[in-house]
Amino acid sequence: MTTLLIMTDGRKDCFTQTWNSLRDNLKGSIDRVLIHDDSGEPAYRQWLLTHDVEVYSTGQRSGFSGAIQSAWNQLDDDYIIHWEDDFILNDKFNVIDFRNVLDRNHYLVQVALKRQPWNDTEIAAGGIIEAAPYDYIEKTDREYTWTEHRKFFTTNPSMYKREIVELGWPQEDYSEGKFGFKVFSTNPLSRSAIFGAKFDRPRVTHIGHERAGHGY
């Protein structure tokens, strides 16, 4: 089974843009859509329910790390498409492409979609990969092309398997970086991947100008 997990915390404007882009552009078989609501706002939860999908609410703000573990506690699926509520999918994308790259390369812990440059270093360099090009290796099997690295595990739009969920998310500050360290230290051969060639244009656009919550 494949679940689309959408993480949200009350930003209705961001969620609406993200939801519309997924409705229009994300193709292929998805067995379950789960919206995880960490807003702590009953009115926001009721609004999410109008989208006719499953909504799980924490009932209070649990922060970035707490929300991820709370969402993961609701999952028993083989494949998870992880999507935060402030990422627009720019073009058509089929989820089977995620699965095929993961299944054919068992050392990959996730396959992510490239976003636009965001921080000062990335903007100055012209892109995420351009900021450290020698840390990324382009691979192909003649059907798909992907770009491997060991720099980070990301909660940007991506697919990962259930065994990643079973590791548990760190309940502390800088949790995203610490989880990446945990994943890569567990298996020195493991790598993350970005779907597509090394210098492809971004497939998603980050629209959330401020991070809400804590525990990043």
pLDDT tens digits for range 172-210: 989 999 999 999 998 889 999 999 999 999 999 999 875
pLDDT per residue as tens digits for the range 8-49: 999 999 999 999 999 999 999 999 999 999 999 999 999 999
The backbone torsions φ and ψ at residue 70, rounded to the nearest 5 degrees and listed phi first, read -60, -45
Question: What's the pLDDT score for residue 214?
Answer: 45
**Separation CA 29–CA 6 (nearest Å):** 16
CA distance 194 to 154: 10
Q: What is the pTM of this model?
A: 0.94
List domains and CATH numbers for the chain. 2-206 (3.90.550.10)
**Residue that is written with structure tokens 């490239």 in the block:** 114
Say if residue 134's pLDDT is above 50: yes
Q: Tens digit of pLDDT for each residue in 50-66?
A: 999 999 998 888 899 99
Name 48's bridge partners: none
